[in-house]
Structure 1
Amino acid sequence: MNQPIAIIVAPNGARLDKQTQPAVPISPQEIANEVQACTAAGAAMVHLHARDSVGLHSLEVVDNQHVIEAVRQQDGEVIIQLTTEAVGRYQPEQQRHLIETLKPEAASVALRELMPDASYQDSFGQFCTWALQQRIFLQFILYSEQDIQHYLALRSDGTIPANGHHLLLVLGRSKEGLQPQPQQLEQIQPWIKQFGDIRWAVCAFGLQELPCLLAAAKLGGDVRIGFENNIYQQDGELALSNASQIVTLQDQLAKADIAVLTNCQMRELIACSWS
């Protein structure tokens, strides 16, 4: 059997609306209901995007607190990962403030957003060290080979601690219309080997999402699935829900003899990563 992997679900993202995908969860209760269905289908972690009162992406503390509370009332076991995505509205100080205030179990950060230039390196490094001390499982989002090189350099010089974090490799980009392909993983596999013991995951945009996730899982990577990256079934029709996407993924993983981690097993691996 292949190495067990974790399923992370990203149910709504920052920009998706109900005009584009009627099933996208927007309100705290809708998000909570969807998360519960996704964990029942096998997701160990949820990548949360809060929305404000008019449905826009929000990094405001109160909006995120409402979503966390709603999810916890529905599902007390799922690992909650808060996003810090800027969407052109938030600065690094505001992104850090959200995590420093709410201290979630996990958080995702894009290197190019929290450290847009070298002048932010010290504050970024202090934030990473603080997160490790607080046992907040940071996930660094890497969009390109350049980002991977940058991450490795920051880890080498101690800006990013050597342990206690996770990585997300993004295949394709929705804005640029770049369609991902499973073969991209072959191109970056030499870089992946340099991650060492650090766990990594893949997300992929559009209809090639499932083949890309399967290719990542066969290499031992975790996978992130959901409407944030892809709102379609393999036949091109709108997906019924995030949970239905996970069910399809689970079927393919089972055929490939790849086991899926529970949230408890994922927590154990996270705890081991602190040492």
Structure 2
Amino acid sequence: MNMKHPFVMVAPNGARRGKADHPALPVTMEDILSTASTCFAAGANGLHLHVRDDSGLHSLDAGRYRETLAALEQAVPEMRLQITTESGGRFDVAQQLHCLREVKPSWASVSVREVMRSPELADTVYGTMAENGTEVQHILYDPKDAEQLRQWQAEGIVRAHQTSVIFVLGKYTPPVAAVPSDLNAHLDGHDANAPWMVCAFGQNEHECLLEAARRGGNLRVGFENNLEDNGNGMFEDNAQSVTSLLNSLKRIAA
């Protein structure tokens, strides 16, 4: 198969899971650094970063982000780093904007649906990222989110260069396991020139990602979205999930 090798990002923890879900899920900064190192060694190109507060809860604290990013840049200097602005049910758009302003990350994921909670701030959110040189990856949960993104692009609220998206297949809560055919609705009407990535909830995660790779997409894999080895028990850690995915990519590309 003539298939380009996708960019592979690991999302090792997310906003909601903890050690009770899997003992190898990274929560502390030390956990995150160790996971980043093992996943980079396994072949992951990038890291989708969530930080936690002292109680282990999802955080958008700028100081924690800056400290963790600095440590990651030392530990895995060749790994691309992306922060999340996910609300996690805790933060409003003004707080998400404050995080972007204070951290000034090189790359951030931003949910169109979440920004729509305060549409009067949308121009400032995307303008702040443009001014700070932050690459944005728009999180799209369904075609309605894509329609809103296109509207903001037409209005100039989303800047012309801010085209990259990630399609979310399935749901974390209430749990809905993704299937490869879920990708069809997202790709229908998508600009073929705009970079796209896929993440998929549930035990069919790798099957969905392989289908995305066949169709030219980039991939996000890890414990944020799935802990299970397709019915064969849980992965030992994030690095094992990355390794399994990359081995499967090699097989379908052969």
For normalisation by structure 1, the TM-score amounts to 0.87
Q: How does 1:101-180 map to 2 (within 5 A)?
A: 101-116=102-117, 120-180=118-178
Whole-Å separation in 1 of the counterparts to 2:230 and 2:178 = 14
Contact 1:5 1:223 survives alignment (8 Å): yes
Whole-Å separation in 2 of the counterparts to 1:39 and 1:11 = 12
Whole-Å separation in 2 of the counterparts to 1:125 and 1:45 = 28
User: Where do 4+ consecutive residues of structure 1 move more than 4 Å?
Assistant: none
**How much has 1:122 moved relative to structure 2?**
4.4
Partner amino acid for 1:78? M
For normalisation by structure 2, the TM-score amounts to 0.94
**How much has 1:112 moved relative to structure 2?**
1.4
**Partner of 1:35 in structure 2?**
36
Higher relative contact order (CA 8 A, sep 6+): 1
Whole-Å separation in 2 of the counterparts to 1:15 and 1:27 = 14
Partner amino acid for 1:160? V
Partner amino acid for 2:200? A
**How much has 1:165 moved relative to structure 2?**
4.1
Partner amino acid for 2:14? G
Q: Which runs of 5+ in 1 are unaligned?
A: 259-275
Whole-Å separation in 2 of the counterparts to 1:71 and 1:55 = 19
Q: Which runs of 5+ in 2 are unaligned?
A: none
Whole-Å separation in 2 of the counterparts to 1:197 and 1:246 = 27
Whole-Å separation in 1 of the counterparts to 2:173 and 2:207 = 21
What secondary structure is seen at the aligned counterpart in 2 of 1:233? coil
The alignment status of 1:198 with 2:194, answered yes or no, reads yes
What secondary structure is seen at the aligned counterpart in 2 of 1:141? strand
Match of 1:228 among 224, 229, 233: 224
Whole-Å separation in 2 of the counterparts to 1:135 and 1:64 = 17
Q: How many residues align?
A: 253
**How much has 1:18 moved relative to structure 2?**
0.7
Contact 1:163 1:198 survives alignment (8 Å): no
Q: How does 1:47-86 map to 2 (within 5 A)?
A: 47-86=48-87
What secondary structure is seen at the aligned counterpart in 2 of 1:223? strand
Partner amino acid for 1:171? L
**Partner of 1:207 in structure 2?**
203
Partner amino acid for 2:217? G
**Partner of 2:24 in structure 1?**
23
